[in-house]
Amino acid sequence: MNKNEFIDKCNEIEKLIRTEFSFSQEKMSEILGISKKTLVEIEKGRSSLGWTGSIALCTLFSDSKILWSTFGGEPTDIIQALAFSHTERVYPKTMGGHVWWRQIEERYGYKIQQNIISQHYRILNAQDERVYSSFDLEEIKLHLEQL
């Protein structure tokens, strides 16, 4: 998944999320900080939330069942993987990936896991803290070798 694919998914599910939370177009546009006209255009497929609007949607509605099922868990994982690709970052502790993650390999006390929905990868240390994430498996393996 790349940023454009992520944005496209957010555009596709915005109306479903709005319905999930029982918001009118007027209220949803106010929450997202866009005009009602822009929201209508997004829902008709004529406009886009863009990167910032997609992040706002995922952040403000992070408890949405639709978001979780679309992206295979917490959407901020994907946002961070896309935003910080090829960049070092300190991540908070995870729950170990019992629901949305499959283990690819374990080496040196670290685990490489792949999200079953978004297909992005992450490295967890022995305490289940995320060390690195990327959509590129070769980049993940190279990073693991450097740890």
CATH code at position 34:
1.10.260.40
Q: What is the pLDDT of residues 91-136, one digit of tens each?
A: 666 776 667 899 999 998 999 999 998 899 999 999 988 889 899 9
Per-residue model confidence (pLDDT) at position 89: 64
Q: Is residue 78 part of a domain?
A: no
66/111 same-domain check: no
Decide: 15 and 24 in contact? Cβ < 8 Å: no
pTM, two decimal places: 0.67
Query: What mean pLDDT is reported for the chain?
Result: 91
Name residues whose C-beta falls within 8 Å of residue 2's C-beta, 6 or more positions apart in sequence: 82, 135
Q: Which strands form 130-134's sheet, in the order they lie side by side?
A: 101-107, 110-115, 121-124, 130-134
Longest dimension (CA), the chain: 53
Q: Is residue 42 part of a domain?
A: yes
Per-residue model confidence (pLDDT) at position 100: 87
Total count of domains within the chain:
2
Q: Is residue 137 part of a domain?
A: yes
Domain holding 65, by residue range, is 3-71
Residue 107 β-bridge partners: 110
Q: Is residue 84 part of a domain?
A: no
